[in-house]
Amino acid sequence: MLLRHDFYFQPISAAEDLILAKTATSPKKEALTKNGTGTRTKTTASKTGETNGDHDFALVELAKAEYAKRRKSQLDSIKTIDKKLLREMLYMMVLGRRFEEKCAEVYRMGKIGGFCHLYIGQEAIGVGSMMALKPTDMVITSYRDHVQAMIKGISPESVLAELYGKAGGCVKGKGGSMHMFSKEHEFYGGHGIVGGQIGVGTGMAYAAKYKQSGQVVLCFFGEAAVNQGIFHESLNMAQLWKLPCIYICENNQYGMGTSQERAMSTRNIAKKAEAFEMANEFVDGMDVMAVREATLRAIERARKDSSPTLLEIRAYRFMGHSMSDPGNYRTRDEIKKYQERDPVVLFKDSLKESKVLGDKDFEKIESEAVAAVDRAVKFADESPFPQKSELFTDVFA
Ligand SMILES: Cc1ncc(C[n+]2csc(CCOP(=O)(O)OP(=O)(O)O)c2C)c(N)n1
Ligand SMILES: [Mg+2]
């Protein structure tokens, strides 16, 4: 049996080749072999991997080696981008990380109630894709929305106050963690129903095309949402009507405590777009530059041809599904392995190696991010709770 780690950061075909090479010299491992017709078949030689938490990481090393080879591409693309933008991209990644760490801290202090889903480990996806947009472009996402709201321009103060349920929040404290929203910033939520935003995002792209506004839509969702009917219905319509929608599947390998391999018959989400003849791409979501470049290609398709794209961007959720996740479906070792490919560290290393930023710049970025988070905490602490009269405003029924 192939394990999800075996192919993690590579398109499945490349991973299969690596596994074939590896298993040829390792008879103990389960092998994916070619049969007489050249078709790949699985042979089962062990029970490893049949349950969550029982993993073989040997091939993650191969994935890392693959990245080491590809790393030059991150260094090369850094050279093509304005230093100011690179600095801003790193700042947003660091701000996202520090902000979410603070959320975990104040959640444990009881300052945030209800659900709270953190983005730690997935920062390169939000930053790489959203910072390739124009401010007028639209974004819609799932409940894992704090960092994406900030990247779209909503202030850390109003995001944290929203988490606190305070009047200074971007939806006056009435949405909470899962429902960040700002028409002004073209950020349309924050949705709690898994996959629900895929239909709404498709409608937004329809509206943009109908009004000839020139906007494109980034529609984010997790890999578990792909099993919902709305994903298939929406992609069909988007391709049929040629809508400027970029569907971003943030594949972090888990839907709550269920791994993708236990819930999906195929590992290859990007290729699902082919059922609709839609453009698609697999992207390493730990590499912010790879995310940016794939998104730019999709944006061009959307703006020039008004045509949609599905991007499967693979990363890993370093924290639990939400703050109340006991996390007993995976091991600490598994998490540690992926932390070796931490997207923030990776990007910093590349910037350093490219000599675009130096130690002083990193220190300054770090202290600016910490200061921004501290200001957000002060603002949220001091913001009042909403008036009772707010119960009857902004209500649609
Ligand atoms: C329609 C629906 N079914 C079930 C749930 C419960 N639920 C909340 S989050 C979640 C997992 C979603 O995982 P994924 O789409 O991979 O996103 P991630 O949390 O990994 O970002 C589930 C099943 C829900 N909110 N909505
Ligand atoms: Mg997931």
| Domain map (residue ranges) of the chain | 1-80, 82-384
For residue 260, which atom of ligand 1 is closest to its CA? Answer: 16
Quick check: 255 and 222 in contact, CB under 8 A?
A: yes
Per-residue pLDDT band at 205 (split at 50, 70, 90): very high
Question: Mean pLDDT, to the nearest integer, of 52-74?
Answer: 60
Residue holding tokens 């029924």?
A: 397
Rounded distance, CA 132 to CA 293, Å?
8
Q: Which of 91, 93, 98, 19 is nearest to 60 (CA)?
A: 19
pLDDT of residue 105: 97
**Residue 46 pLDDT > 90, yes or no?**
no
The mean predicted confidence, pLDDT, of the chain is 87
Q: What is the pLDDT of residue 11?
A: 55
Task: Look at residue 325 in the predicted model and tell me its pLDDT.
Answer: 94
- Find the Cα–Cα–Cα–Cα dihedral 361, 364, 370, 372, rounded to 10°: -100
Q: In the Cβ-directed half-sphere of 111, how many Cα atoms lie within 13 Å?
A: 20
What's the gap in Å between 3 CA and the centre of ligand 2? 16
Q: How far is the CA of 124 from the centre of ligand 1 (A)?
A: 21
Give residue 164 CA to ligand 1 midpoint distance, Å: 22
Query: Which ligand is in closest contact with the Cα of 125?
Result: 1
Residue of 282 and 50 predicted with greater confidence: 282
Contact 363, 96 (CB under 8 A): no
Burial class from Cβ neighbours inside 10 Å (0-12, 13-18, 19+) for residue 46 reads exposed
Question: Average pLDDT for residues 213-233, to the nearest whole number?
Answer: 98
Task: Tell me the three-class secondary structure of 129-179, residue by residue.
Answer: HHCCCCCCCEEEEECCCHHHHHHCCCCHHHHHHHHCCCCCCCCCCCCCCCC
Q: 229 to each of 27, 42, 226, 376, how far by Cα in Å?
A: 41, 29, 8, 39
pLDDT of residue 55: 32
pLDDT at 71: 81
145, 147, 198, 172: which is closest to 373 by C-alpha?
147
Q: Please indicate whether residue 222, judged by its CB atom, sits closer than 6 Å to ligand 1.
A: yes
Nearest CA to ligand 1 atom 20: 255
Structure tokens at 242: 């040629």
Tokens 């790393």 -> residue: 71
CATH 2.60.40.790 fits 82-384, yes or no: no
* Closest-lying ligand 1 atom to the alpha carbon of residue 122: 21
Pairing of strands 279-284, 31-34: unpaired
Amino acid identity for residue 88 in this structure: E
With a cut of 90, say whether residue 66 has pLDDT above it.
Answer: no
Closest CA to 250 of 148, 160, 163, 101: 148
Tell me what pLDDT residue 306 has: 96
Token pair of 286 as six digits: 């730990």
What's the whole-number mean pLDDT along residues 6-21? 51
Compute the average pLDDT of residues 380-391: 96
**298, 345, 337: which is closest to 318 by C-alpha?**
337
Query: Could you read off the pLDDT of 265-279 as tens digits, one per residue?
Result: 888 899 999 999 999
Q: Which atom of ligand 1 is least distant from the CA of 196? A: 1
Per-residue pLDDT reduced to its tens digit, 113-160: 999 999 999 999 999 999 999 999 999 999 999 999 999 999 999 999
DSSP state letters, 224-245: GGGGSHHHHHHHHHHHHTT--E
**Of the bound ligands, which one is closest to the alpha carbon of residue 251?**
2
Question: What letter represents residue 288's amino acid?
Answer: V
Q: Is there a contact between 152 and 130 (Cβ–Cβ < 8 Å)?
A: yes
Q: What residues have their beta carbon closer than 5 A to ion ligand 2?
A: 222-223, 252, 255
Q: Is the CB of 223 under 6 A from ligand 1?
A: yes
With cut-offs at 50, 70 and 90, classify the pLDDT of residue 34. very low
Return the percent helix, strand and coil in the chain, to nearest 5. 50, 10, 40
